[in-house]
C-alpha cells in the first residue's frame, strides 16, 4: 500500500488551519481574556494576560504605607493568583476547540474559584515557606 505523502500532509494542514480558525473565532467571541486579583482591602489590584504579562497594577494611597519589600511581595502574590485565573479563563475560552492535553501543555488549566485569602496570609505571603523551613 502506497501512501501519498503530499495528500496526507495537505489533510493535516487543513485540519491545523481549521483548528486555528476555530480557536481564533472563539477567542474573538470571548473578548479580552485576563485574570484579576486584589488585596483583601482593595488597596492593591492587578490584571494579567494569559501567561502572566502584567497589564495593570493599581495602588491606593493606603498601599504605599507598607515598606517596599512587603508591597513588592504582595503584588507578586496577586500577580501569581491573577495568572492562574487568566490561564483558567483561557482554558474556558478554548476548551471546546483545543484538546485538553494541548491546553495543559500550554499551561492553561481550569482555575477553581480561590477561597478568600485572609489578612494573615496576605500580610505575610512567604508564611508557607517559613513553615516549611521549620519542618511543617
| 12 belongs to a structural domain | no
Which pLDDT value is given to residue 114? 53
Which pLDDT value is given to residue 78? 96
| 92 belongs to a structural domain | yes
Q: How many domains does the chain have?
A: 1
| 3 belongs to a structural domain | no
| 6 belongs to a structural domain | no
C-alpha cell at 39: 488585596
Phi, psi for 58 (deg, rounded to 5): -125, 135
Distance between alpha carbon 77 and the CA centroid of its chain, in Å? 13
Which pLDDT value is given to residue 10? 87
Mean pLDDT by runs of 10 across the 136 residues of the chain is 83 81 75 90 95 94 92 95 91 82 82 52 47 40
Other Cβ atoms within 10 Å of 77 Cβ, number: 20
Which pLDDT value is given to residue 70? 93
Containing domain of residue 107, as a range? 27-133
What region, left, alpha or beta, does residue 70 occupy, with left being phi > 0 and alpha being psi -120 to 50 degrees? Answer: alpha
C-alpha cell at 56: 495593570
| 36 belongs to a structural domain | yes
| 20 belongs to a structural domain | no
Amino acid at each position: 500500500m502506497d501512501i501519498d505523502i503530499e495528500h496526507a500532509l495537505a489533510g493535516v494542514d487543513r485540519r491545523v488551519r481549521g483548528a486555528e480558525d476555530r480557536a481564533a473565532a472563539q477567542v474573538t467571541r470571548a473578548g479580552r481574556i485576563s485574570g484579576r486579583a486584589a488585596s483583601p482591602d482593595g488597596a492593591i489590584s492587578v490584571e494579567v494576560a494569559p501567561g502572566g504579562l502584567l497589564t495593570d497594577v493599581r495602588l491606593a494611597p493606603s498601599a504605599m504605607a507598607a515598606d517596599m519589600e512587603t508591597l513588592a511581595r504582595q503584588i507578586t502574590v496577586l500577580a501569581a493568583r491573577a495568572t492562574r485565573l487568566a490561564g483558567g479563563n483561557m482554558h474556558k475560552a478554548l476548551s471546546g476547540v483545543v484538546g485538553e492535553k494541548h491546553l495543559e501543555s500550554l499551561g492553561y488549566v481550569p482555575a477553581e474559584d480561590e477561597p478568600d485569602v485572609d489578612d494573615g496570609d496576605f500580610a505575610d505571603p512567604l508564611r508557607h515557606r517559613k513553615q516549611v523551613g521549620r519542618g511543617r
